[in-house]
Copies of this chain bind each other. A is one copy, B any other.
Amino acid sequence: MATTNGDDRAAASLASRQTTTRWTPTAEQIRILKDLYYNNGVRSPSADQIQRISAKLRQYGKIEGKNVFYWFQNHKARERQKKRFTAAGENLHHHRQGLQISDHLLAYAAKAAPPHRRHGSADFRDCSATPPPTFAWDAFPPPCGRSFHDQNRDEEEDAPEIETLSLFPMHSAGDDHHRLPWQRRLFSSSSSSDCSGAGGSLELTLNSYGNSPLHFHSGAS
């Protein structure tokens, strides 16, 4: 991303009496953390490792063990979470289902092809054929010569699996998987006339919150 300075939030806000209680990692700290995460496969460091890491990172700024712990926890969790609700490729293939508004949309959609904002290069996680079951702490350069990305923003990769998933499973006769109780019928598509640009009515059924279907009135009034 281009969050201005990005990592230097700490340096940026050090001007005043920052009552900020929470840790503001420096660029170097983040760099090291990501290096450990991606290049070394560190995902859930143990207490000992956390201590070592924090000790090391302390050279670059204030940091405590819990910060390291949380960082890895969050980083890992977010990576998974993101993948979870980003199942379908979402940005480059919108089903144009005949709507008048798409006129403009298509217009710039064509030119706005470029993917996200922070796709630099390939990810590092699988830069080597050997999964990182162990912690490569000691001392050894990264297995594969990896070009360092800019500074911050990790390098998540997208697996644009275009599977045209059923947007709204009406009634899955062949129930295959039971995931969670609320995963039942969340949405009910009203056949095929719900995709009106603006001015339609769609029904959404959310069993988890209410059994009554929801009707959207896009009547614009």
Contact = CB atoms under 8 A, between A and B. Distances in A.
Interface of A: 1-2, 5, 8, 10-12, 14, 17-21, 23-24, 26-28, 31-32, 35-36, 39-42, 46-56, 58-66, 68-69, 81-82, 84-88, 90-91, 94-95, 97, 99, 101, 104-105, 108-109, 111-112, 114-118, 133-142, 146, 148-151, 153-160, 162, 165, 167-169, 177-180, 182-183, 186-187, 189, 192-198, 200, 202-210, 212, 214, 216, 218-221
Chain A residues touching B, majority SS:
loop
A91 B194 CA distance: 41
Contact of A212 (B28, B187, B192): B28
Contacts of A195: 46, 48-49, 59, 135, 137
Q: Which of A5, A36, A55, A149 has the most CB of B within 10 A?
A: A55
Given A21-B150, A138-B200, A46 B160 contact: no
A218 B35 CA distance: 11
A196 B134 CA distance: 8
A214 B139 CA distance: 19
Contact of A153 (B20, B87, B115, B218): B20
Q: Which of A51, A61, A104 has the most CB of B within 10 A?
A: A51
A148 B85 CA distance: 36
A4 B75 CA distance: 25
A125 B26 CA distance: 29
Nearest to A92: B62
Q: Which of A46, A192, A207 has the most CB of B within 10 A?
A: A46
A35 B214 contact: yes
Contacts of A97: 59
Given A52-B168, A137-B204, 20 more contacts: A8-B105, A11-B101, A11-B105, A12-B219, A14-B108, A14-B156, A17-B114, A27-B198, A28-B214, A28-B218, A31-B206, A47-B85, A48-B183, A48-B194, A56-B202, A62-B153, A66-B138, A69-B135, A135-B194, A141-B207
